[in-house]
Amino acid sequence: MNVAAAVLVVVSAAAATGAAAQSPLPTVSERVVVTGTAAPATEGAVGRTLAVVTADDLARLPVASVTDALRLLPGVWVRQRGPYGSQTDISVRGASFGQTLVLVDGVRINDPQTGHHSGDLPVALEDIARIELLAGAGSSLHGADAVGGVINIITRRDPSAPSARLAGGDYGLVQTGAAWRPATLDVLTGLSASVDRSSGFAPARDFLHQQVRMDLRFGATTVAVSHLDKDFGAAGFYGPAPSRESTIQTLVSARDQRRVRPEWTLTSDAWYRTHGDEFLYDPRVLGTQPNRHRTHVAGGGVRLGGPLTKSLRLTTGLEATADWLRSSALGDRNEGRLSGFAELEARLGRLLLYPSARVDTYSTFGTAVSPSLAMALPVQPRVKWRASIGRAFRVPTFTERFYTDPNHRANTALEPEHGWTADTGVDTYLGGTWVGTLTGFVRRERDVIDWVRPDATVRWRTENIRDVRSHGVEAFVRGQHGPVALGAQYTWTSVETDRLVGLSKYVDDYAPHGVGGDLALQLPWSFSTGLRLEHRRPVGRSSWTTVDARLARPIRRVTAFVEVANLGDEHYEEIRGVEMPGRWGRAGISVR
């Protein structure tokens, strides 16, 4: 790890410890979160950079899809090839889309075929309780791919009356959704479904998305079954052709949690996920066959947590996972992984220390060891200092190792990426729901994978060729006071790489400056309005600013709303070469 990173943590620790000597007992946030530590912890006790967006935040704002909801997280760049979540790349702190780990209730969504499928989220907006972001190295807690950060979508478990929504808009847009979480049934605890469709804002840019989810309970065991089916026009996604793509994702997960001693908890998890992808590059070419891929991931794990002493708590666990692929283009592949991890929570006065380590042993890539250390210290009432340092890694996908076409040639000898991240910052809990954070971070990576070529006459090839050095600053505030709810974020990121002779596809494609803001207001006569702004300026491209707006009014159990995305009709590309839609309006009702 670079000396500057270590100095960043140590100097911050010394300063914070000195300040804490005279601080009264703090009253930091008591909201429970599950992504920043191995066991659930209060937000004020977490030593890593963590941000939370709740269902209440989403309901007030012009959020039309789950991928739109991710835009409210600080340091996250959501880059869509298609609107309403047709195909989405997600990056954190300037890392690549493959270096972001996406979870639903702690279960991995990242697909071993390609990182482009991480946005295939089998969750409806109605299902979301909150979204947690762990920024920085997360491999000691969550394993591979947690280099830039971890996004964990937590689904709702609270009973609620039936709800439904219906909306329509430009370009033949129709959206429907319904959810029910009964309190009186013994087994069924939740049911939701949604359909989004559009004829497309441009030729071959239509889409049809269908999702269904069911939650069950059998005593101490909870089971969730969800399915997502997407069919969409992919014109220009991967080349100048009116391509078509369809994907499906099915996720089945089960969790059993029980006390084994008065203060010790044993949690058992099992999961199965399958993802299908069919891609036809150019339907105009007669006789062309689509590429078909089907991945399967099955696994299980146990974790045990409880106190060793009054000031020391242990959480430890084991996992086993199998991946297998059946593909017309990548062949048939099978891989397995065994993992073990442990984290201590140590209290030294008011200082909380979280040393942790995880070992992942792959049938293909050998063993990866991911240690980390996080610390949290309340320094004033409602103010917490935190710092962390950790190692993270990413394994290459099947596409990066085995895909070949006239423009690409994969490399079967790729090795995993690995690197270290250190960050330090201050969290301020201003009362009520108000939270403010300021963070500085550095990241050093080795053997980073990229598609490269010396010039445009040669095929792209994957190589472990890059050493990447990143650093940046993040600021974030969110809260509500009376009729006003506000969110604001700013991220500055610098990414430096070894000089490359030739062309690179992904590593150099990032936005040094990211600005986001949202505002929700209660207006006279029961009206409410919500605004969301996003500004980006990627390297080597023009900047853009988009504004989305919402106006709503409840009438008893029915809320009528009007929304406009890209209010200023901005012309922009989140993915280089893939046009995004201009102004797009929709209107509808929701019933609760």
pLDDT at 28: 63
State which residues form the domain around 357. Answer: 3-591
> Per-residue pLDDT tens for 181-191?
999 888 999 99
Q: What is the CATH number of the domain that holds 179?
A: 2.40.170.20
Q: How many domains does the chain have?
A: 1
Q: What's the pLDDT tens digit per position in 222-245?
A: 999 999 999 999 999 988 899 999
Task: Write down the residue that tokens 């000031």 correspond to.
Answer: 311
* Residues 198-225, mean pLDDT to the nearest whole number: 97
Q: Over the Cα atoms of the chain, what is R_g?
A: 23
CA proximity to 449, closest of 145, 38, 31: 145
- For residue 525, give the DSSP letter: G
Q: Which of 384, 385, 382 is nearest to 429 (CA)?
A: 382
Give the span between the Cα atoms of 531 and 536, in whole angstroms.
17
d(CA 17, CA 53): 30
Q: Which residues pair with 531 in a beta bridge?
A: 519, 549
Query: In the predicted model, what is the mean pLDDT of the chain?
Result: 93
Whether pLDDT at 13 is above 60: no
pTM of the predicted model, to two decimals?
A: 0.94
pLDDT, one tens digit per residue, over 142-153 is 999 999 999 999
What span, in angstroms and rounded, lies between the C-alpha atoms of 427 and 345?
A: 20
Give the model's confidence band at 27: pLDDT under 50 very low, under 70 low, under 90 confident, else very high. Answer: low
pLDDT score, position 3:
39
Query: Span 545-565, mean pLDDT?
Result: 97
407 pLDDT band, cuts 50/70/90, is: confident
For residue 379, pLDDT over 50 is answered with: yes
Tell me the backbone φ, ψ of residue 384, rounded to 5 degrees: -125, 130
Question: What's the distance, CA 146 to chain centroid?
Answer: 10
Say if residues 318 and 340 touch (Cβ distance below 8 Å). yes
pLDDT surpassing 70 at residue 6: no
Alpha carbons within 13 angstroms on the beta-carbon side of residue 231 total 5
Closest CA to 391 of 357, 433, 344, 436: 357
Q: How far apart are CA 158 and CA 554, in angstroms?
A: 23
DSSP 265-325: EEEEEEEEEEEEEEEES-TTSTTPPPEEEEEEEEEEEEEEEEEEETTEEEEEEEEEEEEEE
Q: DSSP label at 126?
A: G
Strands (E), 199-243: 207-218, 221-233
| Closest alpha carbon to 142 in 346, 324, 306, 360 | 360
Q: How confident is the model at residue 405 (pLDDT cuts 50, 70, 90)?
A: confident
With a pLDDT cut of 70, the percent of the chain lying above it is 95
